[in-house]
Amino acid sequence: MASDYRTPSDIHPCLTYDDAPAAIEWLCRVFGFEKRLVVPGPDGTIRHSELRLGSGVVMVSSPQPEAGRFGPRSDRGAPSILSVCVADPDAHHARAKAAGARIVRPLRDEDYGARGYGTEDLEGHQWYFADYRPGAHWDEPSGG
């Protein structure tokens, strides 16, 4: 059964790699990240992962063309997204939409329990605002 070991930060980078399994192993071996959650996708891909270093978390996945997410070597889409935890995703969405933000992923409830939406800033960086904070699905706390 998963426990709640949520991280203290409200902002988490989400990185897309063409070979996410290799990137996860490399980030752990070379930089000392610890795998806390890995959600496999089809054909050996990674749908979502959470890697911890101290109190920080980076989320890593394989390309997701349907969401406009591609690896950094691609000339299209976004290789990174910032995931930001907000207390009230509905109010945040309403504010952003009223201010003219380009919504790229509609406000919705996710299958992992979060509620949020995706948007782009004025130069095309992607942001995901939701009531999600990594750690909710970790099985046990880690040292560090």
- Determine the Cα–Cα distance for residues 22 and 27; give it in Å rounded to an integer: 9
Bridge partners, 129 (sequence order): 84, 117
Question: Among 69, 67, 109, which Cα is nearest to 89's?
Answer: 109
pLDDT computed for residue 144 by the predictor: 46
Whole-prediction pTM: 0.70
The more confidently predicted of residues 62 and 141 is 62
In the predicted model, what is the mean pLDDT of residues 6-15? 82
Residue given tokens 């610890």 in the structure block: 34
DSSP 3-state of 125: coil
Task: Report whether pLDDT(46) > 90.
Answer: yes
Domains detected in the chain: 11-130 (3.10.180.10)
- Determine the Cα–Cα distance for residues 63 and 122; give it in Å rounded to an integer: 23
